[in-house]
Amino acid sequence: MFESIADKLLDAKKIVFVTGAGISQESGIPTFRGKDGLWRKYDAMQLATIDAFYENPKLVWEWYDERRKNILAAKPNAGHTTIANLEKFKQIRVLTQNIDGLHQRAGSSQVYELHGSIVTIKCTVCDFKEKVAESFSELPPICKCGNMLRPDVVWFGESLPQDVWSKAIEEASLCDVMFVVGTSLAVSPANMLPLYAKQNGAILVEVNPEKTPMSQNMDLSIRSTSANALPEILSIMH
Ligand code: BV8
Ligand code: ZN
């Protein structure tokens, strides 16, 4: 699958992976598209907003609790483990829209969580923040300052963590090859990262069973699943 860019891959110093829900689909975690994107009768895009949270914090917490249970029960797949193993050969950076932490669990050491993490919670008012230890007896859980706790994720209409976003732009602008894996590129500003790489003359490779809005900008489009396609990159490195 990757023969046409094998030389570029072998010459590359820094390789960046921009990933989305598709890379975790083969770990049993639903994507946001189509029927997958619905929880009970709610559209994920509706629930992942600060308005939905203040309108019905218990409902939003139940959604994240259920997703966290699925995610903690899931295992990284060959897509995640390949990216982690490539660190033996190249400088690898992962810029992910996923909040599931599966890249880190697969062993990737440089992961930038653009949209936060489902395994961390924070206070809606004070600067309290901690990893989720146990499931909560009462929803929404209350902080010691008396205000509601919330998942440490970025909701629609909220800005990305500035330090993570500026680092992501830097890495995208300095890479030799960028793989865009398992994302519909429907959400901004994350969907602009391939543009930064293109501006720097990087090789752009897409791994997705379906076309995306940037397919025509790719140097190579692999119409396959990530767990099926990515391991082939390793065979080129050996
Ligand atoms: C912001 C965390 C500044 C929470 C998420 C109108 C027009 C344009 C933009 C906007 C607009 N109105 C508002 C905006 C901005 C908005 C936006 O982009 N909206 C979209 C919907 C139009 N963006 C924001 O609000 C961002 N903040 O801009 O701040 C600002 C502030 C105020 C006002 C304006 C601007 C914040 C966005 C972050 C939101 N949080 N997640 C949670 O997860 O609960 S986004 C969430 O959805 C994910 O993180 C991800 O980013 C996105 C889903 O996309 P994908 O991951 O790509 O998944 P998807 O299901 O869509 O696609 C899966 C793909 O995988 C498919 O292509 C499929 O073919 C493929 N696939 C499937 N299986 C496999 C596979 N590929 C490989 N292998 C497989 N096995
Ligand atoms: Zn607090």
Better pLDDT: 133 or 70: 70
CA distance 16 to 175: 6
> Which 8-state DSSP code applies to residue 155?
P
Compute the average pLDDT of residues 13-33.
95
* Lowest-confidence region among 63-77, 80-94, 131-145: 131-145
Taking the CA of residue 189 as reference, the ligand 1 atom at the shortest distance is 28
CA distance 137 to 11: 53
Q: Which residues lie below 8 Å from residue 117, measured CB to CB, with a gap of 6+? A: 99, 101, 152, 153
pLDDT mean across residues, the chain = 94
Determine the residue of 154, 156, 210 to mutate for testing ligand 1's pocket, defined as the one with the most ligand atoms within 8 A of the Cβ atom.
156
**Which of these, 187, 156, 189, lies nearest to 172 by C-alpha position?**
189
pLDDT at 21 exceeding the cut of 80: yes
Compute the average pLDDT of residues 208-218.
97
**Which of these, 90, 115, 105, 102, lies nearest to 233 by C-alpha position?**
90
Predicted confidence at residue 34, as pLDDT, reads: 65
Q: Is 80 among the catalytic positions?
A: no
Identify the residue whose tokens are 């692999």: 222
Predicted confidence at residue 138, as pLDDT, reads: 87
Residue located nearest, by CA, to atom 57 of ligand 1:
183
Question: Which helix (H) or strand (E) element contains residue 111?
Answer: strand 111-113
Question: What percent of the chain stands above pLDDT 70?
Answer: 96
Classify the phi-psi angles of 97: left when phi > 0, otherwise alpha if psi is within -120 to 50, otherwise beta.
Answer: alpha
Kindly give the distance from the C-alpha atom of residue 132 to the centroid of ligand 2, in angstroms, as a whole number.
15
Residue located nearest, by CA, to atom 60 of ligand 1:
32
Q: Would you place residue 133 in the very low, low, confident or very high pLDDT band (cuts 50, 70, 90)?
A: confident
Length of the chain: 238
pLDDT at 35 exceeding the cut of 70: no
pLDDT at 38 exceeding the cut of 70: no
Identify the residue whose tokens are 């990757």: 2
The 3-state DSSP composition of the chain as helix, strand, coil percent (nearest 5) reads 40, 20, 40
Q: Which residues approach ligand 1 with their CB closer than 6 A? A: 20-22, 25-26, 31-33, 45, 48, 97, 99, 115, 153-159, 182-184, 186-190, 207-210, 212, 225-226
Locate the DSSP E strands across the chain. 14-19, 38-39, 42-43, 91-96, 111-113, 116-123, 129-131, 149-153, 177-181, 203-207, 220-222
Q: Would you place residue 78 in the very low, low, confident or very high pLDDT band (cuts 50, 70, 90)?
A: very high
